[in-house]
Structure 1
Amino acid sequence: MLGSPSTPLARQARLLSQILRMLRKERRMTAAEVAAGMGIAVRTYQDFEAGKGDLDLNKILLFATATATDAVSIILALLFRDPDLARQSMDNKLPTTFWISFREFRDDVGEQLNVVPPALLLEGFRRVYEEIKLYLRKRADSAEDWLERAIAEAYRPPGDDKTDPET
């Protein structure tokens, strides 16, 4: 996959290398552990992580399986030059989850999918994203409330136990 340092393939190889290394480190895995999980030799993995050789989608799938990350996120991160996408969705696997739900939808509607206007899809996605943001706000609020109560409990003076039946 490497060529002249300024060629698109060389830039793509460097970016893939950056993404793979970042994800491996996020998982606190060694190259040997990832190679074993992929079922390949350590040197083969090291070359893959270094961006040597052709772009191999099967190796990306093996890497994602070995590191419990998301292959679709890695490919999208590479395509759109956005490494953070792979990291931010490595646990929830949002792009693969979307692909699975899209595939089910496509199976249901078939060729009619072609007549769905992009604006309708965009509006639907925005509603879903609003629901997700609401979930995240509620989750953050409940965590903050819990932490506030836990700190108050931890700082309570000795003998000031609200669970003491004599108080």
Structure 2
Amino acid sequence: MLSSPTAPLARQARLLSRTLKEVKKERRMTSIEIALKMGVALRTYQDFEKGKGDFDLWKIRRFAKATRSDAIGIVLAVMYGNPRIAIITMRSKFLMTGWLGFMEMWRALGDRLHLIPASQVLLALRKVAEHLRDYLDRRADSMEAWLETSLDELYEDPTDGEED
């Protein structure tokens, strides 16, 4: 027996809901905060967060802006069934930044862009990954990383062995 034609849509709605909730949790925001920043009624936001209604790209963009996250990351999280994509790209806006880079390249190369084989795109992305890996390695050794870690330690509870 074939599954219901609405099954993929129900799965999509569940994935969207899970993704939105994970972004909201990661940002430590409330539904009312997000609704206000999206410019929608609380009930409208709650329905959206539950995955009710159509897959609305306008609402996804508004949500991403309200939560300072990556709208493309949210869409791809739903498309590929992995809400972690939205979390990984949230801070850096990695995929939206990639879109900006693509648009810049399109302006520079015009329609010749379609002549570039996928293997060359992959090679270029590997060079980008190498550059970013070097950046992260340098950052890990920097004073910035030390300071960030030291400040985080200040928020930890004192050790149990200390007396008042």
- TM-score tier, shorter chain, comes to 0.7 to 0.9
1:88-125 deviations in Å (ceiling 9; x for gaps): 11111010000011011112211211111111111111
Task: Determine the structure 2 residue equivalent to 1:140.
Answer: 140
The answer to whether 1:125 aligns with 2:132 is no
Q: Quote how far apart the aligned CAs of 1:142 are.
A: 2.8
Q: Quote how far apart the aligned CAs of 1:29 are.
A: 0.7
- 2:30 alignment partner AA: T
Structure 1 residues not aligned, in runs of 5+: 151-167
2:101 and 2:146 map into 1 onto residues whose CA distance is 34
Task: Determine the structure 2 residue equivalent to 1:72.
Answer: 72
The answer to whether 1:36 aligns with 2:44 is no
2:131 and 2:20 map into 1 onto residues whose CA distance is 31
TM-score after normalising by structure 1: 0.81
CA gap of 1:96–1:146, structure 2 versus 1, over 3 A, is closer
Runs of 4+, deviation exceeding 2 Å: 141-147
1:45-66 deviations in Å (ceiling 9; x for gaps): 0000000011100000110111
1:144 and 1:104 map into 2 onto residues whose CA distance is 31
Give identity over the alignment, percent: 49
1:30 and 1:146 map into 2 onto residues whose CA distance is 32
TM-score after normalising by structure 2: 0.82
- 2:26 alignment partner AA: E
CA gap of 1:37–1:144, structure 2 versus 1, over 3 A, is closer
Task: Determine the structure 2 residue equivalent to 1:154.
Answer: none
Task: Determine the structure 2 residue equivalent to 1:160.
Answer: none
> Counterpart of 2:55 in 1: which secondary structure?
coil
Structure 2 residues not aligned, in runs of 5+: 151-164
- 1:133 alignment partner AA: R
Aligned-CA RMSD value: 2.0
